[in-house]
Amino acid sequence: MAHQWRGIIAEYADRLPAHVQEKIVSLGEGGTPLVEAPVLSELTGAQVFLKVEGMNPTGSFKDRGMTTAISAAAGRGAQAVVCASTGNTSASAAAYATRAGMLCAVLVPDGKIAMGKLSQAIAHGARLLQVDGNFDDCLIAARKLAETHPVELVNSVNPDRIEGQKTGAFEIVDALGDAPDIHALPVGNAGNITAYRKGFVEYATATADLPAVASRTPAMWGFQAAGSAPIVAGHPITEPETIATAIRIGNPASWQQAEAARDESGGVIESVTDEQILAAHRILSSQAGVFVEPASAAGVAGIISRAERGLVPAGARIVVTVTGHGLKDPQWALRAADGSEVVPTRVGADVVSIADALGLG
């Protein structure tokens, strides 16, 4: 009989805290495909796999952390949750909160929220408040609201989020049989690089109750967008800019944890330009067959950039986590490499015209 994936809490119950398991709120998240990407292997001289997190229930990895955060909140009898969001956190929080019968308040920064994500939050019944300020201002306000009112904060500063998101690392090791040499991913608020590092370390460490599953941990390679690269710059960015809205964050909440993940794993955190991100986005969709949102392409842009500088070890096994689905922010697919709008060719409704237009003679 086919095995139905049960969601990350049920699948990894022995490696998650008990308090997220009292009242599980799940939409079947996790169990996402690990897809080999020959085009990227060829470009980098490594063996590259993509962890396709757009296949989660609301289309991004945020669901891994939201099932644990909302389950923990439900276990404590919470009635309402709040988050600051560049989009995907609100889409995910709204879905899991409505499933749990809770109110979900969402603080989104002025402008620059991708249409797909906004429509999800609204469809799932979130109370959407557009805040006069950027993401970092929204997070400060959300934190204060949670401190002063009976509302739980479900941003990635909530440790339950990290617990859920670490299961992405477990799945990679389970699929490959051991940890890869390198794990690459985009870095925004830096919760995910923190979570993956935690997952890889836990899987490589035997405890009294659990054996080690991996023999080692991968080097963590994190990539920020050039206009929003505070960790690379070494100071907060007051006006972060990038087309990759999911990582348009000037003062990451998990800054120190991200630096620890980098340093303890022998990794790097670098920046990639919007042009490099869009080029990687195009390679992913037009050659690898994987459609992602722009931020998700930052990890791929990063390994290509490092390969161009001779910084990818030959034959290394690399997993790149591509974090969100292309349908979240589809406008970028409708432009050609030269920036012009792509329009379909008009033809008559006959086979001859159609075959002609396709160059089939």
Query: Residue numbers of the site for ligand PLP (CB under 6 A)?
Result: 60, 62, 88, 156, 186-192, 246-247, 293, 295-296, 323-324
C-alpha to C-alpha distance for 209 and 218, rounded to whole angstroms: 24
> Shortest approach of ligand PLP to residue 320 CB, angstroms?
12
Residue 72 vs 185, nearer CB to ligand PLP: 185
C-alpha to C-alpha distance for 8 and 277, rounded to whole angstroms: 30
CA 168 to chain centre: 10
**CA angle centred on 105, ends 100 and 109, rounded to 5°:** 140
> Shortest approach of ligand PLP to residue 212 CB, angstroms?
26
> Shortest approach of ligand PLP to residue 86 CB, angstroms?
7
Residue 269 vs 283, nearer CB to ligand PLP: 269
Residue 219 vs 295, nearer CB to ligand PLP: 295
Instruction: Please report how the helices 274-283 and 298-308 are oriented relative to each other, as an axis angle in degrees rounded to 10.
Output: 100
C-alpha to C-alpha distance for 164 and 15, rounded to whole angstroms: 10
> Shortest approach of ligand PLP to residue 315 CB, angstroms?
28
Q: Which two tokens stand for residue 311?
A: 């910084």
Residue 216: partners with Cβ closer than 8 Å, 6 or more residues away: 178, 179, 204
Residue 88 vs 242, nearer CB to ligand PLP: 88
> Shortest approach of ligand PLP to residue 116 CB, angstroms?
11
Residue 60 vs 217, nearer CB to ligand PLP: 60
Residue 15 vs 117, nearer CB to ligand PLP: 117
Q: In this chain, which residue has its C-beta nearest to ligand PLP?
A: 324
> Shortest approach of ligand PLP to residue 227 CB, angstroms?
15
CA 110 to chain centre: 21
Residue 246 vs 288, nearer CB to ligand PLP: 246
C-alpha to C-alpha distance for 68 and 13, rounded to whole angstroms: 11
Residue 143: partners with Cβ closer than 8 Å, 6 or more residues away: 153, 155, 157
> Shortest approach of ligand PLP to residue 328 CB, angstroms?
7
List, in sequence order, the alpha helices (H) in 57-209. Answer: 62-75, 88-100, 115-123, 135-148, 159-165, 167-176, 191-203
Place of tokens 């970092």: 136
Residue 18 vs 115, nearer CB to ligand PLP: 115
Containing H/E element for 107?
strand 103-109
Q: Which two tokens stand for residue 42?
A: 């060829």
> Shortest approach of ligand PLP to residue 147 CB, angstroms?
21
